[in-house]
Amino acid sequence: MIPKKRFLYFITDASNRSCYFDGSAIQKTNIPTPLSNTPDGWKDVEIAFGTNDTYFSLQRSFTVPLKFVGDGAKVLRYYMQNGKGYEEELYIVILKWAQDTGIYKLEYKGRIDLSKYSDDPKEGVTLNAIEGGILDYLSSRADTAYDILCDTYATDYSKVEFDGTLLLDRFYYQQTEDGTTQYLTGYKFFYSIPTVYEKNDGDSVGVTYNDSTLFTGYTGAKNANFPNAAEMYNGEDFIFQSLQEDIKVNINGVLSVQMIYQQASYNSNYVNNRVYGFSILVTWPLLDGSGYDMKEYEIQKQILLSKSQLVGFNLSQTIDVPVNGKVFLMMKTTGASNGYSMPIGVQFKQSDFTLSFNSKAINSSSVVLSPLQLLKAIVNKMTDGKFTAESNFFTQNDNIVATCGDSIRNTAYSSSLLNYYLNTSFNDWFQSYNSIYNLGFKVIDNVLWVEPKADLYGGDTILDIGEVSSILVETCTDYLCNTINSGYPAQDYDAKSGKYEFNSEAVWTLPVTTVEKNYDIRSKYRGDAFGIEFIRANLTSTSSSSDTDTTDNEGDTQVFLINTEKTDTYKTFSQSARFSNSGYIWFPYSLDTELDPQYPLLSYYQKVFSASRKFTVSGSANNNGSFYSLGINGVGAIDESQKIAGISVTQNVIDETATLITITFDNPLRTIRRANYTSINGVLDNTVYNVEDMTPKRQVLAHGNYLRSLLYQLPSDSITLSSKDKNQNLVTILNGKTISENASEIVNSLADPLFLPYIFEFTTKVPLTFTELFNAAPKGLIKFSYNGHDLYALPIGTMKYKPATEETQSWKVLCSAKTELNTLFNLSDSGLLITEGMQNSLFISDLNPVQFIRYGFTLNAKYHTANAYKLPFRERITRFMEQPKYVQKWQTNDTINLQFITYGLPTLEIQILDHESNVVSTKMAAYIDDTALTSPYQKQQISIPLGDFEEGIYVMAIMANGTCLAYSECMNIAEDWPETLLFEYYNSLNRLNGYFASWRPSLRCEGLLMPTQPESEFTTYQDDQDNNRMLWGISTPTKVLYIGNQYGVPDWMALKLNEVLLLDRVAIESDLYAKQSDSKFSAQDIEGYPMSYYSITLSQYGNKAGLDISDTVIGDTNQTAVYTLDASAFGQAEGVISTELKED
């Protein structure tokens, strides 16, 4: 028995096993087993795919419920009662018989939506199908947030080294006047000046302030230049300290001191030998721990005191404060030569001064996840581990990584604070990375592929669906917008430097007034680098305490984006080392690599051995293996010439001195990405980050191809910034390109458009199954043709059809930018359109009296039919029993007037060839100015009188720069063709396919005008006596026009005459005619013959009721008629007035 079913229906489980009823029980099998009973409603099932606008991707739908009866109902009832209920994972699989191969091909597969289960025991189980696989999870869980591991236990993690952003701060101090007199006595040669810290007006990191409240004296050697550095450093009289790096500090202000001389103790020897002055002293510990150093910055070198006096002086100094250095404000004195003390009093007057400086958070590192790594982790959790995601783009472009507040806050200080998580959903991930990269996705074999829109829909792969029967072109209203939101979640900072943050919310205005809709490309993740720095700054207090802030807050699981660069510099190195069983590995370092190039700087080890970084040791005798770094926890020295840094590790270490070991790090170390800008303004300096690819303006530019698509016909207009939450003054210059956050952007400067702002809606029949269509659509463009025009669309929109009845598919898709705008312009026109690239095209309207065919066209092997613009008539009728050779008739007293609309082409050359292909004449077209035709389109015309040609067969060829673009159907020129009619025509107004200001074409065709038929229109009145009276009447005579002699005419001639009779000035054999409102061509076909006869009923133009010697003929100017008018209608006295009107 041969198969009789066109469709086979299966119910399968998640493992593709068929579920069926064997007559006694429900079974599963790996052998495909269709349902015995076809579901009720199968004839009405409509399958569709449509675009998810959020993701710019395709999804399928099953629009009509199926009622499962018989064995299908039993299977569904069984799993609803004995399985997981509405969570049971079952699929409907539909196979369709392919006529060409006899194979049942997959038409549709979707998950059965048991949450909509409806069971009528008498009739069956009614259910719908939903998108199965990964899209099923996406539709239900895209907004569900998951905790994603973001620490050193995460798979394939990497670490980023933060080196800080400069913050500007200014500390305000006051010297308070309290009237107290302090005395300089004994052998104290340096005295701290009492000052009080008041406030600051910026932000600082890694520094501390202090009140120097005591007038403390410090003693050095007699007449010594400096006090004891250790004594001072360990005292409490400093005013400022740098805790983590060298800082340059500017001190500005005034100090005022009253010096009081004691007359009773006056001794001129003492005075002459005692000198007073004021200085800033900076002390700091030596790096190797061997002691302290000190540097003096003199404020006032000396004051020779001979009497009481007020001493005032300006502070204006720039000082260098080394790491851990302390700053002291000091008064100094040298004792008398005989060693006696001098009782001099000091009163401090109210004074103010400031310390201004830049600082940044201490270097630290955090665990980060690459975009694809994070996406895979989200998809894994979202789909319960069943599916994954991939991306060609993010495999190569993984510099913008993600981390969480916990990792930013704590990693640099403790490896024990693990179990860090960032909390995110798929939608949050997509919207955040889409904001930067303008993304879409496609699903291939249940793998989610995320790529930029330009990569998804900018390729050359084309699904050619052939000719469509009808088309509707609409504005893509659903995509239009008039505002854009870009940027990142709004943040409120306590820190004053927050005003410099540029990655904040921004609102942009488009040059659109006809719609009110927002295009939101804001990131859900944070991208504020200052916010990151403020979190890192909590690690170092601005008080004298250096306790680490480990307080949980709302930032701990928030996701942060960081723009990084991978580096191999810190992947591996070889060096001598000492292993200590106290848990240290000691490496030699250099204070200056130029003087000591054998060893790296200490900063190198600080960078590579960041906390929790895993590394492997090889080449040692006793300590090969893996270790986790806890960072540098000590420095020392082997001798005066060799310094060593101690790396603390978590594993046990055996004492050993190794001449050469190799360290290899398991995970890459990333550094902060900063472009080498020619100029950067609007921020303090180029230590800021998250600039490239990430700022709100750059987000808009990243979506340039989408926005330019919407604004395609507004190339000179601009997108302007309306408002910005914070800093809008960032301006960068890199490689000659300036990007200003608050500057407008001209539409034409954006990336090339993806599409044109139009939707194509059409119907067609494609010989592919639904699944084949769905799988093919996302891979490139869709090509189709209408009315001789090739059109291209993105597979963004909808397609639906009923597979059971094989109705034509209904498509609604976005117009691709590959479709030229002038093609849409000419879409309604019948004619030949030839395009050679975006800026070279030729349009030949069907109103031209000669039929032209595109030169060089080759029919694709999979097609067997072409239209009248692609192949000549003789090559299109090869499958007919009879194949007549039709030639167009022209008389030697005719003139052929041709018109061409060109774009980017030179003056056209028309060659006339005889039947042996010899060029017998060459004519040049001429450019004709026409205000109705806008640039860049141009009108070229040519008139070719036929009186100089011998009778015979000819062909025309259209040439441009020596290249043939089109050629004509054959023409037969003779002195007379008595069975033909001459059609002369034009239109009173221009049409899209004809510009008539200087063009009067004519066309000759086989035909016959029948004698006039008397007809009329009238209104009568019938009174109560059944008497009829004529109230109104007009004669409407008609004639029937026959086209074609006993052989008929080809289709292209009928198309031309159909276009001609749509004009308002058509003369047939010199008399004007017009179509009636309901008249259409009626064709009479002959079986097996490719040409037809046509007839149509026409009315004589003007509806003349008699002979008028001034009758208008084609080509004449309008005639003038005199009308007599009621003068009172125009406010004049009773009577009449006459006026002349031109009759058209």
- The string of DSSP letters for 670-707 reads EEE-----SEEESSSSTT--S-TTTSHHHHHHHTHHHH
265 or 115, higher pLDDT: 115
Task: Tell me the C-alpha to C-alpha distance, in Å, between residue 517 and each of 271, 386, 512.
Answer: 85, 38, 10
C-alpha torsion 66→67→69→74, nearest 10: 90
pLDDT digits (tens, 9 = 90+) for 1109-1134: 555 555 554 555 555 555 555 456 76
Mean pLDDT of 49-71: 72
Which of 351, 527, 333, 308 is CA-nearest to residue 436? Answer: 527
Phi-psi region of 1135 (alpha: psi -120 to 50; beta: other; left: phi over 0): left
Q: Is the Cβ–Cβ distance between 326 and 124 less than 8 Å?
A: no
pLDDT band at 540 (very low <50, low <70, confident <90, very high): very low
Specify the pairing of strand 167-175 against strand 755-764: unpaired
Mean pLDDT of 478-482: 92
* Residue 926 predicted with pLDDT over 90: yes
Helices within 268-391 (DSSP H only): 268-273, 371-382
Q: Which long-range contacts (CB under 8 A, 24 or more apart) does 984-990 make?
A: 984/1066, 984/1067, 984/1070, 984/1114, 984/1115, 985/847, 985/1060, 985/1063, 985/1065, 985/1066, 985/1067, 985/1114, 986/1063, 986/1065, 986/1114, 987/1063, 987/1064, 987/1065, 988/1064, 988/1065, 988/1144, 989/1064, 990/932
Q: How far apart are CA 1070 and CA 1076, in angstroms?
A: 19
Q: Is the Cβ–Cβ distance between 35 and 71 less than 8 Å?
A: yes
Q: How far apart are CA 804 and CA 952, in angstroms?
A: 56
Mean pLDDT of 964-981: 95
Q: Is the Cβ–Cβ distance between 939 and 899 less than 8 Å?
A: yes
Could you tell me how far CA 256 lies from the centroid of its own chain? 63
Q: How far apart are CA 844 and CA 966, in angstroms?
A: 10
Q: How far apart are CA 423 and CA 428, in angstroms?
A: 10
Mean pLDDT of 260-284: 64
Say how many residues make up the chain. Answer: 1144
Q: Is the Cβ–Cβ distance between 673 and 688 less than 8 Å?
A: no
Percent with pLDDT over 70 in the chain? 82
pLDDT digits (tens, 9 = 90+) for 128-149: 877 777 887 888 899 999 999 9
Average pLDDT in the chain: 83
DSSP 350: P
Residues 6+ away with beta carbon under 8 Å from 1108? none
* Residue 851 predicted with pLDDT over 80: yes
pLDDT the model gives residue 593:
73
pLDDT the model gives residue 1077:
77
Mean pLDDT of 625-636: 79
pLDDT digits (tens, 9 = 90+) for 508-537: 999 999 999 999 999 999 999 999 998 888
Strand residues in 885-1037 grouped as ranges (E): 888-891, 895-903, 909-914, 919-924, 926-928, 938-945, 952-960, 963-968, 971-974, 980-986, 1002-1009, 1016-1022, 1028-1035
Residue range 573-663, CATH number? 2.40.30
Percent with pLDDT over 90 in the chain? 40
pLDDT band at 272 (very low <50, low <70, confident <90, very high): very low
pLDDT the model gives residue 1115:
52
**SS3 state at 755:** strand
pTM equals 0.70
Tokens encoding 859: 């029919």
Report which listed range, 76-80, 292-296, 625-629, 980-984, is most confident.
980-984
* Residue 151 predicted with pLDDT over 90: no
Q: Report the half-sphere exposure of 176 (CA within 13 A, side-chain side).
A: 12
Tokens encoding 487: 């940027």
Q: Report the half-sphere exposure of 1007 (CA within 13 A, side-chain side).
A: 23
Q: Report the half-sphere exposure of 579 (CA within 13 A, side-chain side).
A: 23
Q: How far apart are CA 211 and CA 805, in angstroms?
A: 90
Mean pLDDT of 666-695: 90
| Rg of the chain taking only CA atoms, in angstroms | 45
Q: How far apart are CA 113 and CA 712, in angstroms?
A: 42
pLDDT the model gives residue 182:
76
φ, ψ at 570 (rounded to 5°): -110, 25
In SS3 terms, 408-474 reads as HHHCCCCCCCCCCEEEECHHHHHHHHHHHHCEEEEEECCEEEEEEHHHHHCCCCEEEEEECCEEEEE
pLDDT band at 468 (very low <50, low <70, confident <90, very high): confident
Q: How far apart are CA 954 and CA 272, in angstroms?
A: 126
Residues 6+ away with beta carbon under 8 Å from 602? 287, 589, 632, 635, 643, 645
Q: Is the Cβ–Cβ distance between 229 and 292 less than 8 Å?
A: yes
DSSP per-residue letters across 696-740: HHHHHHHTHHHHHHHTTT-TT-EEEEEEESS----EEEETTEEEE
Architecture of domain 831-977: Sandwich (2.60)
Query: Which class is 167-359 in CATH?
Result: mainly beta
Q: Which long-range contacts (CB under 8 A, 24 or more apart) does 903-907 make?
A: 903/822, 903/839, 903/840, 903/841, 903/842, 903/936, 903/937, 903/938, 904/837, 904/839, 904/840, 904/841, 904/936, 905/840, 905/841, 905/842, 905/960, 906/960, 906/961, 907/940
Task: Tell me the C-alpha to C-alpha distance, in Å, between residue 987 and each of 395, 1067, 1080.
Answer: 61, 11, 19
Minimum mean pLDDT range among 264-268, 348-352, 547-551, 791-795: 547-551
pLDDT digits (tens, 9 = 90+) for 393-452: 999 999 999 999 888 886 444 444 467 899 999 999 999 999 999 998 888 888 999 999
pLDDT the model gives residue 365:
82
DSSP 881: S
pLDDT the model gives residue 286:
80
pLDDT the model gives residue 134:
84
pLDDT digits (tens, 9 = 90+) for 339-363: 444 557 788 888 999 999 998 887 7
Q: How far apart are CA 192 and CA 92, in angstroms?
A: 88
1079 or 711, higher pLDDT: 711
pLDDT the model gives residue 78:
93
pLDDT the model gives residue 249:
96
pLDDT the model gives residue 255:
86
pLDDT digits (tens, 9 = 90+) for 276-302: 678 888 898 886 667 888 898 988 766
Q: How far apart are CA 153 and CA 829, in angstroms?
A: 66
Q: How far apart are CA 802 and CA 770, in angstroms?
A: 10
